[in-house]
Structure 1
Amino acid sequence: MTTPRTARRAVTAVAVALLAIGTAGAAGVAPAAAAEPQWHKGIPPLATPWTAQVGPRNALPEYPRPQLVRGRWQNLNGVWEFGRAAVDQAPPVGQPLGERVLVPYPIESALSGIQRHEDRMFYRRAFTVPAGWRVGSGQRLMLHFGAVDYDAKVWVNGTRVATHRGGYDGFDIDVTDALRGTGPQELIVWAEDLTDATGQPIGKQRRVSDRGIFYQGSSGIWRTVWMEPVADSSITGLVTTPDLAASALRLTAETVRGDGLTVRAVAKAGGRVVGTVTGAAGTELVVPVPRAELWSPDHPYLYDLEVTLLRGRTAVDTVTSYFGMREIGKKPGADGKLRIALNGKILFNLATLDQGFWPDGLNTAPTDAGLKFDLQQHKDMGFNAVRKHIKVEPDRWYYWADKLGLLVWQDMPAANTGPIPEAWRAQFEAELHELVREHRSWTSIVAWVPFNEGWGEWDREATGRIADDVRKQDPSRLVNAHSGVNCCNSHGDSGRGDVIDHHQYLGPASPAPDATRVSIDGEHGGFGLRTSNHMWFGDGQAYEMEPDSATLTRKYVENQRAVITSARSCGISAAIYTQITDVEGELNGFWTYDRQVAKMDLRQVRAVNREIIARADGSAGNVPQPGPGTPGLTGVAFYPLDGTAEDAAGDHDATLVGGPGYVDAHRGQGVALNGSGQFIDTGAPVLNTASDYTASAWVRLDKADGAFQTIVSQDGASVSDFFLQYSGADQRFAMSFAGVRALGPAKPETGRWYHLTGVRDSVRGELRLYVDGELAGRTGACLPQAAPTGNTVIGRGRYGGNPVDYLDGAVDQVHLYDRALSATEIKDLYASGQ
């Protein structure tokens, strides 16, 4: 039989008291030929503290589905037979395979014992049915696969019982009808994983690591394989959604052959019953939770849940679970900007980027203690959130996030970085919705992230539609349509979802929220440090390498304090630092890839992180209003450039540098500049960049190619405070800060005079560009600027401490203002010809 995707039921995690259940599972009976050859653990390039603990009797023995628990189960992890497979090769029924692999570690990993890639493979083992269960008992035997990457086929006793496509979701198989009456049963799995040779969702996996941001792939079985006997009518899944307004839990018990049966649900707190409900199976029930104790990162309180399927008064199936009472949403802060709220209170989400890779197990953590370690470090370092980056973890990872108290931003694993081929797009969307379906009851997950930096995006409108579809599927969480919408392969902002998400290295990013969407820094940081004998390739890189731990810590603290500024001035609701551990060639972790060495002073890390959460909540109020400035359209400085560089409005007379000359210009005379070393220096910082200001000029370009040209700027210590410029990268006029541009609509013509006005508006947190009196472009620029340090100049900029971007053309009628001119004033200035 084939198990359709919709038959897959959520595999989830459980209360701490149930963690020991896994020890009751038998290891299974090895095939007759298992004694020869033997399994041997490989040697990983780096060993974690848990590598030595892994062996045939300790291959992830814990109960794998803690949100839907039954007492009887049997773990099939351990040593299996293994062999390379060919396309359409018949299953090796009754035929021993020549190698041994430790399941559930991907075959490329050292822990698997194979430690190489195969496009196609067979797994084979024998098993016996759980003790006390027998064929014909009226019960069913379910076989569960946590995940197989990527395409899978399964045979039991020579009968094909399932096919499945998708490397990050699980599947369940009723194998009852394929079982023999007694004795050992044969289980064979075929898997195919072509990784980045197809359009399949792969996350960061590649067949060959690029020693950069992509890593060694993981193929085959990589999560726990297990069995459980169930009643003929049974519970297959629990969908739980807390409803704080109603002081209740909304619960649907999904069943098989449950028509006409009823469900009884009992919620408990510390063994005390707090709410009970009974209703029809498969319908939404409301479990009362009066005076609910709310779940939060500082108080991750979890209720126990017992659900029984009844035929009349007779219980036919019982499962245990748990839930947390929490609500994620949006609300305006004291500054009026929309922000993320947990349980109705604004809470800044401070996270790391968590890739979920391991040097010994690759996609699979070596042990449950290792799986917990990364999340525990988040808590110990003062974070309250984690972004699970384009990977989906085993259910126990989300259990630990629930138990420890971490807000999870869950990514969908990306396909290749280019547009997903049309033939694979429906598959991507199907796997995305399966991700949401399987994980919709985790307390810790607060946001879904369909796309990262445009990887796989094929159309901006399609991205918006996909975000809407996820929202319809799960209206109880935030939807972040595209993390890093400002970056890389992004097709631009679709305007959909609940989040505006920018990436900036080293950052932090500072997008502003709008009327319906909060804003976050989706990735920033990336400071690195080499740690001898703890590097995957013996070397690596980061966005900025530091010489020692003290410098790395200082850079982190300084960078994180800037998050507070971004939160207060711009209104970001979250910041995500790259990253929790080194990964292969990336050396920008708090910990080395082997989790052996902490690279920063974690006490300082915790202190600044807690400071951010306490201070970056929008309680600071609105940005201070700038002063009114000097009235009128003359400005604080005015350079008519009619045969002289004198300031006609003040005392900042300018000097011509490099020998430019006066020429007939837009109105009277102007100054011609040759694009190479010629500019006009006002001799002072005319504009107070810590407040609002405006710069205006008439300009004629003599060339308009890929080179930048600056009309007016003011020198900063290393980079100009602002640029009124021609952007060669865009071949349009712009009002810019470094990395931020308000762009004009079209490429300018050479030889034509244009009137340009650039406005810095700190109240609205933006830059605006006007061309010939009309608004041409605007962009968010909400971070406060420092006080001026260098001269205002005409005809060049500064970048990296050097003079750059000389104007090749002519300039006339330069005005500088100590306020943000209004649109009407700019139109009047243009009309005046000045």
Structure 2
Amino acid sequence: MRRLDRRLGHSLVAAAAALLVGLAGPAGSAAAVTPPADAPAWHVGIPPLATKWTSKVGPDNALPEYPRPQLTRDKWQNLNGVWEFARADAGQAVPAGQSLNERVLVPYPIESALSGIQRHEDRMWYRRTFTVPKTWGVGSGQRLQLHFGAVDYDAKVYVNGTLVATHRGGYDGFDADVTDALAGTGPQELIVWAEDLTDATGQPIGKQRRTSDHGIFYQGSSGIWRTVWMEPVPAASISGLTTTPDVAGGAVSVSATAAGGAGLRVKAVAKAGSKVVGTATGAAGTELRVPVPNAKLWSPDSPFLYDLQVTLLDGGDKAVDSVGSYFGMRQIGTARGADGKLRIALNGRILFNLANLDQGFWPDGLYTAPTDNALKFDLEQDKAMGFNAVRKHIKVEPDRWYYWADKLGLMVWQDMPAANTGPIPEQWRGQFESELHEMVREHSSFTSIVAWVPFNEGWGEWDRAATGRIADDVKAQDPTRLVDAHSGVNCCNSHGDAGRGDVVDFHQYLGPASPSPSGDRVAIDGEHGGFGLKTSNHMWFGDGQAYEMEPDEATLTSKYVQNQEAVITSAKACGISASIYTQITDVEAELNGFYTYDRQVAKMDLNQVKAINKKIIAQADGSATNVPQPSPGTPGLTGIAFYPLDGTAQDAAGDHDSTVVGGAAFVAGKNGDGVQFDGATGYLDAGAPVLDTASDYTAAAWVKLDRADGGFQTVVSQDGPTNSDFYLQYSGADQRFAMSFAGVRALAPVKPNPGQWYHLAGVRDTVKGELRLYVDGELAGTASACLPQSGPTGHTVIGRGRFGGNPVDYLDGTADQVHLYDRALSADEIRQLYASGS
């Protein structure tokens, strides 16, 4: 079963969760049993780190806020609080009428300190009693709905021994009409069974693991982890509500589903404060268009929200049910900037999405924030630091998190929680897709969500074509938002770009990444940054790491500012229209947050953070950027340097003679002699830079490999301060020829054969912002390389590369007829060069 759609509300204060007052017998009876005097009490655990909210949590105030802000009613009761708890065995009978021997604080996952259990169990029982208020009129025209915000992962729910609900999925809620299972008017027994095998299965888990790896995966969260509550509803009632803004049409579409009757009608009234702005009436289950003339548009700078009242009418136009909600008027799409590149647009205007990565973990509550103020805190800090967006990273939050994003004005990129990093087993793939579409359905009315992200870095991905189909399916389900089929498509376990969705998304640490828009897809930097700092007494394991550790706050802040300045360059030169920095807080062993994991210490100068963030949003606006036009260069096919390698390393075109270094020897080549390299020490050194790497250039050579395995081999390169300015190479990671920058490769489509001569030509084109590789006179691969390069600093070399400050990737094979050009050769010229054999 699935929960109702959630849609605002009013700030309601829940009644304090009742402690156990008795035990109900099996269905059909309501004989109360008084707990023994020596029944165990709940005690909070001791987390490795405490937040400022840890001490504020207790049995009487465990997340008391109304949990469903987009479909509210004024009568409800919170069932959070102390429940009985016990480990469960597979196949064990339901312990109806039996006291369990431990106490747990719901809704904190059992591994968390706040739960009081603080250990993992594969299977578990929860038990408590509840009493239905007599004023609710349940049984005399009113029905009782029981709601679970989320239970990780499989759940069964029993009321007075009767099974009333089963559910699979750790990130979506479910509900049940339990009226017929009630026994009289006294205490009712509620038992929940849950099973969570976490990473032992193919279920979606995000970054949860049963045992933290002290790296990028964290302590799991099992069992009930969102609010449990109940409410009375009429026999004919509103069961779901969806709102979709239509900015161009000056209206909001409202769809209200109803249960319990035929011929029901719906009246929807939109308000701005106390002023009615639009009304529509129609049949339940149909789309109503409520006018919103001269709409106040929602944006991060002005997150205006309209109130919505929806009333269910019977055949005689009598009101039988009413719910409150809200919506924002905004439209997310794309537009071309003055530079001609496709970019993300909000309400028809280009707006750079400057986002923080948010993983949603807490040292005291793990998956569950200790309080609502804590849940809101991270979002408030995002706004205070000048961010206008958040990437909710492979986790789905409680509805109130999205409510606060709506209220505060933050655009949300919503990930689908990943399964394990390897391909999802075939038997779990349907479940993954089902949960993905349920996530979209349940959250389709939150104004803040602007994009759906089905896959991250290939985790769980089993087939590139399937990834493309899934992206198409999500777009068909929700055409009003962007679909980022694959965040980090260039990374890790990715099967490659499926070419689907609205977004080309690269990850690069430290970055930023610099993909370019492609066709009708915008480009974003989906993850970058990751600078870290140790903070004594505020680290989960007492130690940790990041992508690059810094010694102090000043250095960390400086690194952040420099890194974000590069985002502006990437936006202007390459056309990215979003960037996502890692991350808002430390998480367990990851120390790359703006805040420590306990949210107690800010690790950077946040004034400087805000200043650079505001600068990015202001300047990365798609305005035209003047791309310097390269000089025409030296005409002809000889080039500015030509090494025939006929018994000498002299330059036959100029004065860039090379020196033979290490294990290199003249042997029979492609055309006369060539140079054979030993794959370990040998190379040719020109003694100076030959190419101006700030402009266009081409490098060409004949090459014959002695081996083609997993090792990299460089044919021609030019040393930079740390890495080569470029590599004309054999990429061992891909086992293909490539023209590369560090982290960027234009790849040939097939693996070369050892012992066979190939003609390679690598082109750097600054106007098009790309690298091109030609093999045997034909275009073999291209790659976006839009960022400007610095001028030359190191020697041009044949037979090795430079990476991390060290000589690397020595050629194991023979090179001949090496040409260097101070311009980008055309395709026709490269074909002529290949045909000449020179």
- TM-score by length of structure 2 reads 0.96
Matched, 1:584 2:588: yes
2:197 to 181, 194, 197: 194
The corresponding residue for 1:797 is 801
Answer whether contact 2:487 2:505 (CA < 8 A) is retained: yes
Amino acid at match of 1:778: T
Matched, 1:404 2:408: yes
Give the 5 Å matches for 1:113-512. 113-311=116-314, 312-512=316-516
**Alpha carbons of structure 1 residues 827 and 266: separation in structure 2 relative to 1, 3 Å:** same
User: Matches of residues 28-107 of structure 1 in structure 2 within 5 Å?
Assistant: 30-31=21-22, 32-33=34-35, 36-107=39-110
**Aligned sequence identity (%):** 78
Q: Which amino acid aligns with 1:10?
A: D
Structure 1: how far apart are the matches of 2:99 and 2:797? Answer: 80
Q: Give the count of matched residue pairs.
A: 825
Task: Provide the residue aligned with 1:10 in structure 2.
Answer: 5
1:22 and 2:13 matched? yes
- 2:35 is paired with a residue whose SS is helix
Matched, 1:513 2:504: no
Q: Which amino acid aligns with 1:215?
A: Y
Distance in 1, Cα, partners of 2:468 & 2:88? 41
SS at match of 1:132: helix
Distance apart, 1:474 and its partner CA: 0.7
| Residue 625 of structure 1: how far off its partner (Å) | 2.8
Name the aligned partner's letter for residue 632 of structure 1. G
Counterpart amino acid of residue 510 in structure 1: S
**TM-aligned CA distance change 1:49 to 1:13, over 3 Å:** farther
CA contact (8 A) 2:20 2:83 kept: no
8 Å Cα contact 2:72/2:325 also seen in 1 = yes
Structure 1 residues 615-653: Cα deviation after superposition (integer angstroms, max 9, x where no partner): 112213363332222222122222223344333333323
Q: Name which of 604, 608, 615 aligns with 2:612.
A: 608
How much does 1:34 deviate?
A: 8.0
* Deviation by residue 1:1-53 (Cα, 9 ceiling, x = unmatched): xxx33xx2123443xxx21x124566476334286211111111110000000
SS in 1 for 2:727: strand
In the TM superposition, residue 663 of structure 1 has moved relative to its aligned partner by: 3.6
Residue identity opposite 2:636 in structure 1? G
Q: Is residue 692 from structure 1 mapped to residue 696 from structure 2 by the alignment?
A: yes
Residue aligned with 1:199, SS: coil
Matches of 1:705 and 1:162 in 2, distance apart? Answer: 56
Mapped contact 1:34–1:81 kept (Cα < 8 A): no
Once residues 262 and 502 of structure 2 are traced to their aligned partners in structure 1, the CA distance between those partners, rounded to angstroms, is 38
Instruction: Work out which of the residue numbers 670, 695, 711 in structure 1 matches 2:674.
Output: 670
Matched AA of 2:313: L
TM-superposed deviation, 1:373: 0.3
Residue 620 of structure 1, aligned match among 605, 619, 624: 624
Question: What secondary structure sits across from 1:492 in the alignment?
Answer: coil
Query: How far apart, in 2, do the equivalents of 1:750 and 1:515 lie?
Result: 37
Question: How far off its partner does 1:813 sit?
Answer: 1.9
Q: Which amino acid counterpart does residue 117 of structure 1 have in structure 2?
A: H
2:28 alignment partner in structure 1: none
How much does 1:736 deviate? Answer: 1.1
Matches within 5 A, 1:799-818: 799-818=803-822
Amino acid at match of 1:380: A
Q: Residues 12 and 637 (structure 1 numbering): CA distance in 2 closer, same or farther, change over 3 Å?
A: same
Q: Residues of 2 paired with 1:625 and 1:243: CA distance? A: 43
Aligned-partner SS, 1:613: helix
CA distance in 2, matches of 1:659, 1:9: 72
- SS of corresponding position for 1:363: coil
Quick one: distance in 1 between partners of 2:74 and 2:755? 82
Distance 2:726 2:717 in 1: 5
Q: 1:807 to 1:86 in 2, by over 3 A?
A: closer
Please tell me the residue identity of whatever aligns with 2:459: W
CA contact (8 A) 1:641 1:812 kept: yes
Distance in structure 2 (CA, Å) of the matches to 1:26 and 1:107? 18
Look up the equivalent residue of 2:121 and give its one-letter code.
E
Give, in whole Å, the separation in 2 of the partners of 1:660 and 1:362. 59
Opposite residue 35 of structure 2, the aligned amino acid is: A
Q: Is residue 570–residue 782 contact of structure 1 (8 Å, CA) maintained in 2?
A: yes
The answer to whether the Cα contact below 8 Å between 1:25 and 1:73 also exists between their aligned partners in 2 is: no
Matched residues in 1 for 2:361 and 2:439: separation? 19
Point out where structure 1 has 5 or more consecutive residues left out of the alignment: none
**How many angstroms does 1:778 deviate by?**
1.6
Q: Identify the residue that residue 762 of structure 2 maps to in structure 1.
A: 758
The answer to whether the 8 A contact 2:664-2:683 is kept is: yes
TM (norm. structure 1) is 0.97
What amino acid maps onto 1:568 in structure 2? Answer: K
Distance in 2, matches of 1:629 and 1:480, equals 41
Instruction: Provide the C-alpha distance between the structure 2 equivalents of 1:299 and 1:144, rounded to a whole number of angstroms.
Output: 33
Stretches of structure 2 lacking an aligned partner (at least 5 in a row): 23-33
Partner residue in 1 for 2:602: 598
